[in-house]
């Protein structure tokens, strides 16, 4: 994932510099594409989710291990101004995280120090896209916005908790998002790789019934953080 992030960042910088050197060349592909008021497309991509764990006492107790997941969704893009677009990008994201509890003295079984949290989100972002001037067949842009998600794997209302090996999380989460990308104008369509950070605002933890639980007793908040690498086709 870090390698992909590096590649996209290099592409963004290289494309901008390359376009600035060659602004006098004739635009060839899809010359009137961006004049459309409303555009539709789809995206596929990868994600890597983590948790930001906040503690009641300054004793870090949880090590979070993330894994690679996938994204798939649709894009509705409305042109507000020449350099500003409003985008709605409903999609599906799947991921898995492992929570390792470091203070083993609080557990009777070694298996109790590990909890696997699987999540399948319906992700609903509302994004502002700020684009530069088109440079021949490329156009770098920045992204920023808010989003919410519905966790289809949530066990928020499950009466069982970690005593029964169930780590509970909330169904609904709210986020803010920041990112960047590049539009490539190809012969038949526009291809847009992008990278963004997704940061939860709301707390996702459903505490155990026992306030002194070794799993959730010292956690004051649990918030998702993620990196999305998406490939969009218009």
Long-range contacts of 206-214 (CB under 8 A, 24+ apart): 206/155, 206/156, 206/161, 206/168, 206/169, 206/170, 208/161, 208/162, 208/163, 208/168, 209/161, 209/163, 210/161, 210/163, 213/161, 213/162, 213/163, 214/101, 214/103, 214/106, 214/107, 214/112
Instruction: Write out pLDDT tens, residues 191-225.
Output: 999 999 999 999 999 999 999 999 998 999 999 99
CA-closest candidate to residue 92, choices 50, 56, 132, 42: 42
Place of tokens 């590649």: 7
> What's the CATH code of the domain at 189?
2.40.160.20
Q: What is the pLDDT of residues 111-129, one digit of tens each?
A: 889 999 999 999 999 999 9
pLDDT tens by residue, 27-50: 678 788 888 999 999 999 999 999
- How many other CB atoms sit within 10 Å of the CB of residue 188? 7
Residues 128-167: b if buried by 16+ CB within 10 A, e if exposed: ebebbebbbbbbbbbbebebbbebeebbeeeeebbeeeeb
What backbone torsions phi and psi does residue 12 show, to the nearest 5 degrees?
Answer: -60, -50
What beta strand segments (E) does the chain contain?
38-55, 62-66, 68-81, 84-88, 91-101, 114-131, 138-151, 172-185, 190-200, 219-233
Helix (H, G, I), strand (E, B) or coil at 112: helix
Looking at the 3D structure of the chain, how many domains does it have? Answer: 1
pLDDT at 23 over 50: no
Domain assignment of residue 215, given as a range: 2-233
Query: What pLDDT does residue 24 have?
Result: 53
pLDDT in the model for residue 20: 47
Average pLDDT over residues 49-60: 87
């Amino acid at each position: 994932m870090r390698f992909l992030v590096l590649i996209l960042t290099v592409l963004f910088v290289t494309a901008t510099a390359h376009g600035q050197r060659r602004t006098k060349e004739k635009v060839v592909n899809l010359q009137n594409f961006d004049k459309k008021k409303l555009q539709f497309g789809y995206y596929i991509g990868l994600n890597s989710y983590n948790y930001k764990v906040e503690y009641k006492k300054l004793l870090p107790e949880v090590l979070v291990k993330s894994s690679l997941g996938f994204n798939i969704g649709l894009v509705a893009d409305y042109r507000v101004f020449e350099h500003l677009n409003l985008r709605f990008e409903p999609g599906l994201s799947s991921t898995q995280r492992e929570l390792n509890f470091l203070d083993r003295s609080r557990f009777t079984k070694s298996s109790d120090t590990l909890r696997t949290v699987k999540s399948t989100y319906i992700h609903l972002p509302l994004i502002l896209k700020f684009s530069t001037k088109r440079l021949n067949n490329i156009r770098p842009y920045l992204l920023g916005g808010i989003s919410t998600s519905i966790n289809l794997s949530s066990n928020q209302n499950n009466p069982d908790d970690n005593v029964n090996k169930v780590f509970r999380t909330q169904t609904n989460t709210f986020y803010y998002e920041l990112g960047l990308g590049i539009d490539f104008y190809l012969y038949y369509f526009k291809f847009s790789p992008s990278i963004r950070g997704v940061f939860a605002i709301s707390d996702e933890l459903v505490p155990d019934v026992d306030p002194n639980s070794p799993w959730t007793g010292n956690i004051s908040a649990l918030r998702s953080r993620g990196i999305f690498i998406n490939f969009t086709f218009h």
